[in-house]
Chains A and B, each alone.
Chain A
């Protein structure tokens, strides 16, 4: 039995409690392997520290008072221009939900990236699913999403005003989940193992658009060329998130594991999400086509392509599912008795990372995992 890596690293930094430190040091006296590991770790930490110290600067900087004056100049300049924009209400509402559309829809991507979809499955009351090919590729996703989530937390994390938001709650079985969610929760008979079932209570999200921050978000995800009219500032959007049930099969790196599951674990993880469609309170004069165009442009479509696609889609009732350029997708005529969309990132001959989405009897279903996609379809067909 060896000491885990994180604990050894904490010992190097003096971050363990006295009791824990004593325990670890006692172990190190008798374990050559752990002693070797910590030596290596200490040496690496010192090397990296030396590299980082190359960035130290001896630059003289102006006094804090002078800097504060520069900040005030910036504040005064920005506030003056914002006051002017308060009178330009003509186009405000047309762009209000753009940020939420972009954020939520981008979340509808592959399971190996962090996904907000568990809470924000889609916008509007979804009746159909329409895939759209976008130029964003899977290879771009990790950096794209890192920048996106990093920015999202900075720009949005403290802004969202949650009426009530509770933690996911593990429940005993489908019956308990059904009572809580208010609809019949179905599970696949195809799977032999027992799932971990989680219930997330419905909640309301109110988001007040901050134009400056929204434009910064677009810049930070590399789409500073998309210009949001400044008059959107201050508009409020309300999203009613439904009750959501998530059934996780296999080893999915749950509870306490901050890391992505290892390759071995990932291969057996499957998640089945089911929820009623969320609804969004949107001002009636909202130009949905324009919002949709922004969403598609953010995902890499040209202005012209985005305009053409947006014209044909009923954004109020359609879940537009972005398909990365290097992924494959199929529109499946019959999934669980209804049309669906299968998006996959192949791995080897038969396996793929997949996301299968369909709507049945007013419930939106999402099945995500790593498997033979044919088996995923069989799982979906076996829901009872």
Chain B
């Protein structure tokens, strides 16, 4: 279970990105995080993925305090959370296969294991057969799918997505969202930051709304 207890995040210079955030997300739950740009959505996700740390309060994942994770353990904790970015964050000098294989190589998987798992992940996002292409030769939607395949390839219990459909047209956005629904159906906890309100309403999942760093609605 993911739990935020009185979480504050202040950036140097006195900017309060998050103010007194409290919410719970059960294991296996899927939820949206909405709000305008600058409302603190990315910051909230970064606190979970250990890319940032709260200035006050606690972020708990199955009762482990993320603020107390030792420096040594941070990389291992990051492997438990698959992160997807609006700008994909792909390595442009590596093939699709190598991009998706990266988390497995880092975790020290064997070669044949890597082959199998990368194929499975690419199959899931509908990119099987494009392993040897370079990201630059793929469309924006396909690049995002590579990013998703990379986030799920080592089967993390949680997926965080930061504006995954930000640059995509409505039809493609819906396809991407359906992928997340499928992951959620096999038990993965999913938290998606998005400002695509119409799509979110259509899908009918719980949504958390942030406004100027505060959680204003928390409905499910």
Whether A associates with B in a native complex is: no
Chain B residues with a Cβ under 8 A of chain A: none
Chain A residues with a Cβ under 8 A of chain B: none
